[in-house]
Amino acid sequence: MHEASIVRELLETAGARAGSARVRQVRVAVGQLSGVSPDALTFYFEILRGDTVGAQAELEVDLVPLHGRCLACGRPATLQELAWSCAECAGALVFDNGTELNLTSLVVEHG
Amino acid sequence: MGELITIEQKILSKNADIAADNQRELDRRGVFAVGLLSAPGSGKTALLERTLAALAGRARAGVIEGDVQTDRDARRIAALDVPVVQIVTNGTCHLEARMVQEALSRLPGDLDLLFIENVGNLVCPGSYALGEHRRVVVTSTPEGEDKPLKYPAVFRSADAIVINKIDLLPHVPYDIEQARAFALQVHPGVLVFETSALTGAGLPAWIDWLLAERRGSADARQ
């Protein structure tokens, strides 16, 4: 449920960046180890955008692929979906990323 | 036509900035801070009570207590004559760096160790850095051994994991070796302590680790 506070921060940052322009799209990147649910982000975005610069904006959530390697066989792994064992040898995986929670871009309209 | 503005900024960058300020302030005071995260009822506060009693005379410790409601935990800590600040979040499911910043201003400056007990929740607190030097996740035997698999993000972010309530092992269907295996599966190489805050079992190794980490951190700053 912390997605509500995250969306508030997001709308505030978007407002600061957009200035007097109207925001049409807000794009965010979410890692699979961020502890944040994309569905919950979208849910709260639709509730909280009301009186903000994002009132008419859509939220686009990109899931960031996990990059890592197997501790046993050393094989590099790129995962679209979280897993804990190597697909080849079932060894443990370590990841270089996963905690992303970023505002990537805005689409704004002037005038 | 719309104009695309590329931003690439952490959504919680304000929190991250304040967390970095908090850590600078802790370092300035020479305080080593440990964040404690767990589900409600895992025995964080009981473990803390035992830990504080064991640290008496060895390190000056303080506590920041985070709860959704009541100062019950802070009163338990204050009874041990340990400086404590209660943060009541009034419904918010996690502590944020700005809350810790405010609490720091109300703690004495001459502490060696500071424990920051987060709101009982294994999801939301994981997203918010507070400025702590180490993060410890506490789980307990009645919760079942699969907690690390169900909440991987927070277990992965932990510097150490404590399995508490080992005194209940004869009474609950909990396979502690399986629990260790699950913890190591989501976080290869993570340190796992087994404790009972009730009997004190396993406490010495946990206390030794805290003191060693504190010394290591102080040495690194010199």
B8 falls within a domain: no
Least CB-CB distance to B127: which of A13, A34, A108?
Answer: A34
User: What DSSP string describes chain A?
Assistant: -THHHHHHHHHHHHHHHHTTSEEEEEEEEEETTS---HHHHHHHHHHH-TTSTTTTPEEEEEEEPEEEEETTT--EEEESS--SB-TTT-PBEEES----EEEEEEEEE--
Q: Predicted ipTM? A: 0.89
Number of independent structural domains in chain A: 1
Per-residue pLDDT at A52: 87
d(CA A17, CA A55): 15
B146 falls within a domain: yes
Shortest CA gap B25–chain A (Å): 24
Tell whether the model's pLDDT for residue B221 goes beyond 80. no
Confidence class of residue B91 from pLDDT cuts 50, 70 and 90?
confident
A69 falls within a domain: no
A24 falls within a domain: yes
Sign of CA dihedral B104, B108, B110, B115: negative
Tell whether the model's pLDDT for residue B180 goes beyond 80. yes
Q: Do A108 and B5 touch (CB under 8 A)?
A: yes
Q: Do B11 and A10 touch (CB under 8 A)?
A: yes
d(CA B194, CA B141): 10
Shortest CA gap A2–chain B (Å): 5
Per-residue pLDDT at A56: 92
Per-residue pLDDT at B219: 86
Average pLDDT score over residue span B17-21: 97
Least CB-CB distance to A13: which of B2, B9, B149?
Answer: B9
Tell whether the model's pLDDT for residue A111 goes beyond 80. no
Domain with B216 in it: 13-221
Tens digit of each residue's pLDDT (9 = 90 or more) over B27-81: 999 999 999 999 999 999 999 999 999 999 999 999 999 999 999 999 999 999 9
Confidence class of residue B1 from pLDDT cuts 50, 70 and 90?
low
Number of independent structural domains in chain B: 1
Domain with A7 in it: 3-64+97-109
Q: Do B5 and A84 touch (CB under 8 A)?
A: no
Q: Do A98 and B5 touch (CB under 8 A)?
A: no
Shortest CA gap A69–chain B (Å): 12
B110 falls within a domain: yes
B86 falls within a domain: yes
Q: Give the residue numbers in B contacting A (CB under 8 Å), as ranges.
A: 1-15, 92-94, 96, 123-124, 126-128, 149, 152-154, 156-157, 184-186, 188
Tell whether the model's pLDDT for residue B112 goes beyond 90. yes
| CATH number (domain holding residue B169) | 3.40.50.300
B156 falls within a domain: yes
Chain A residue with minimum CA distance to B94:
A2
B1 falls within a domain: no
d(CA B166, CA B88): 30
Cβ pair B221, B27 in contact under 8 A:
yes
Shortest CA gap A50–chain B (Å): 19
Least CB-CB distance to B2: which of A85, A104, A109?
Answer: A109
Average pLDDT score over residue span B92-113: 95
Average pLDDT score over residue span B132-158: 96
Tens digit of each residue's pLDDT (9 = 90 or more) over A38-77: 999 999 999 999 988 889 999 999 999 999 999 999 999 9
| CATH number (domain holding residue A17) | 3.30.2320.50
Tell whether the model's pLDDT for residue A24 goes beyond 90. yes
Between residues B100 and B222, the one the model is more confident about: B100
Mean pLDDT of chain B: 95
